[in-house]
């Protein structure tokens, strides 16, 4: 048995539980559950010996507190021996916070199938309502514009599309490239820790083309166009 593995062993002749190993958050696993599933004594004076404990943190104190609680529920008198002063202070702190630490999140209320059908129907109706409003607004503006078609200056529209869109492509490409370089460098430093450098090109390419490219394009076009119109 490795001493790093936390155990609580019952010595029947001495009516004593012996705690051994590292009682910390990384080692506990299912110790409390396994303890409660054993044949616990009842109506006795039980000694819990902590001399062989190698590490003891708040998770270990909480686990031991649950074990003590299980013993007291069977009308046992529990005495702690050979625990250090910091360990006893930690146990007292955990005991004082037992109500908040024992709190369990209540299970969410289970809705029946009719609730889900109604919820989905409501969402779809809201989407349809928004779509109808959009189509109606576009139709109104379109037919209103048809009555004043002479207002449309086709050469000016084409010129604006060329200056605001086509001529903005070089700066968009340059910024996308530079941001890609920075992202690849930053991700490389982090992924190197986990030996995942092979994924840098894939991740940076996916992030730029799928996530950043539309955003960068929108920002540059909007900012450049508004500045040009203002000037």
Please, are residues 68 and 36 in contact by the beta-carbon 8 Å criterion? no
State how far the alpha carbon of 77 is from the alpha carbons of 10, 32, 166, in Å. 15, 19, 84
Instruction: Kindly give the confidence (pLDDT) of every residue in the chain, 231 residues in length, as a single tens digit, with 9 standing for 90 and above.
Output: 445 788 888 888 888 999 998 898 887 878 888 888 888 888 889 999 999 999 898 888 989 998 998 899 889 999 999 999 999 999 999 888 877 776 676 777 777 888 889 999 999 999 999 999 999 998 998 888 777 777 777 787 788 778 777 888 888 888 888 888 888 888 888 887 777 778 888 888 887 778 888 888 888 777 777 776 676
Decide if 43 is inside a domain: yes
Residue 105: what pLDDT?
67
- Same domain assignment for residues 91 and 152: no
Residue 19: what pLDDT?
92
Residue 39: what pLDDT?
84
Decide if 111 is inside a domain: no
Find the distance separating the first CA and the last CA of the chain, reported in whole Å. 80
> Could you tell me the residue range of the domain that residue 47 belongs to?
7-101
How many domains does the chain divide into?
Answer: 2
46 by Cβ neighbours in 10 Å (0-12 / 13-18 / 19+) ranks as buried
Return d(Cα 96, Cα 99) in angstroms, integer: 8
Return d(Cα 113, Cα 229) in angstroms, integer: 55
Decide if 118 is inside a domain: no
Decide if 94 is inside a domain: yes
Tokens of 204: 């940076």
Return d(Cα 175, Cα 223) in angstroms, integer: 14
Stretch (H or E) spanning 79: strand 77-81
- Same domain assignment for residues 152 and 223: yes
CATH assignment at residue 91: 3.30.750.24
Decide if 116 is inside a domain: no
- Same domain assignment for residues 76 and 155: no
Return d(Cα 116, Cα 49) in angstroms, integer: 55
Residue 228: what pLDDT?
67
156: left (phi over 0), alpha (psi -120 to 50) or beta: alpha
Decide if 187 is inside a domain: yes
Return d(Cα 165, Cα 152) in angstroms, integer: 19
């Amino acid at each position: 048995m490795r001493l790093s593995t936390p155990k609580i062993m019952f010595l029947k002749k001495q009516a004593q539980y012996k705690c051994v190993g590292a009682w910390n958050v990384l080692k506990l696993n299912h110790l409390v559950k396994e303890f409660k599933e054993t044949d616990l004594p009842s109506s006795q004076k039980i000694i819990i010996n902590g001399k062989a404990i190698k590490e003891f943190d708040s998770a270990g104190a909480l686990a031991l507190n649950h074990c003590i609680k299980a013993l007291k529920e069977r009308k046992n008198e529990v005495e702690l021996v050979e625990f250090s002063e910091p360990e006893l202070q930690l146990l007292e702190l955990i005991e004082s916070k037992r109500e908040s630490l024992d709190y369990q999140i209540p299970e969410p209320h289970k809705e029946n199938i009719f609730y889900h059908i109604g919820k989905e129907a409501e969402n779809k109706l809201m989407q349809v309502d928004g779509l109808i409003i959009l189509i109606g607004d576009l139709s109104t503006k379109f037919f209103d514009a048809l009555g004043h078609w002479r207002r449309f200056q086709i050469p000016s529209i084409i010129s604006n599309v060329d200056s605001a869109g086509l001529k903005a492509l070089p700066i968009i490409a340059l910024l996308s490239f530079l941001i890609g370089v920075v992202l690849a460098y930053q991700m490389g430093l982090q992924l190197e820790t986990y030996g995942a450098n092979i994924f840098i090109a894939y991740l940076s390419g996916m992030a730029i083309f799928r996530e950043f490219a539309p955003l960068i394009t929108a920002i540059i076009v909007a900012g450049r166009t508004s500045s040009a119109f203002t000037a």
